């Protein structure tokens, strides 16, 4: 089942690199915070690298001024996410999260099979606005599209 506005995020662990591999519990990551979580099908892929992540990097301070944290997630290993963050000049504070086994992606019901492209199970492209672990808004892209999960669209449609 796909996650919807009003649903609580499932509890799973994600990874990131920070002085070694760090394991992060989703409840601890989102509890007591306002967060935009956006997911991409893959680090270093064309749209993800040219438009999706760069949009959030460019607009990062606008989210912060609104008191909103920004997290990026992909079904890639944490080393790939760290390398991509370095290559994309991701600012300190924009978390680059690895869902290497697609556990969180599956728990959200937002997986897609990209086996035809040699990529296996990946995340659909989406953005969620989450307050204290509860999804308030969900923007899920249709396959092959990049419209509603962009930083610009999310900023325009955040609750005030």
| Other beta carbons within 10 Å of 106 | 16
Distance of CA 64 to the CA centre of its chain: 16
Residue among 39, 40, 48, 81 flagged as catalytic:
48
Residues 104 and 110: their CA atoms lie apart, in Å, by 9
Pairing of strands 34-40, 21-25: unpaired
Active site residue 72: no
| Other beta carbons within 10 Å of 18 | 12
| Other beta carbons within 10 Å of 83 | 16
Residues with a known catalytic role: 48
């Amino acid at each position: 089942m796909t996650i919807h506005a009003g649903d609580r995020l499932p509890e799973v662990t994600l990874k990131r690199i920070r002085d070694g591999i760090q394991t992060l519990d989703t409840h601890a990551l989102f509890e007591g915070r306002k967060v935009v979580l956006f997911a991409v099908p893959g680090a270093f892929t064309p749209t993800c690298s040219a438009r999706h992540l760069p949009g959030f990097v460019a607009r990062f301070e606008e989210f912060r001024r609104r008191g909103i944290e920004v997290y990026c997630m992909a079904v890639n290993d944490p080393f790939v996410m760290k390398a991509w963050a370095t290559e994309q000049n991701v600012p300190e504070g924009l978390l680059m999260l690895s869902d290497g086994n697609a556990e969180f992606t599956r728990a959200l019901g937002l997986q897609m099979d990209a086996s035809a492209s040699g990529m296996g199970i990946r995340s659909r492209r989406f953005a969620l606005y989450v307050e204290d672990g509860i999804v308030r808004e969900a923007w899920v892209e249709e396959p092959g599209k990049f419209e509603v999960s962009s930083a610009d669209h999310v900023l325009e449609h955040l609750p005030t």
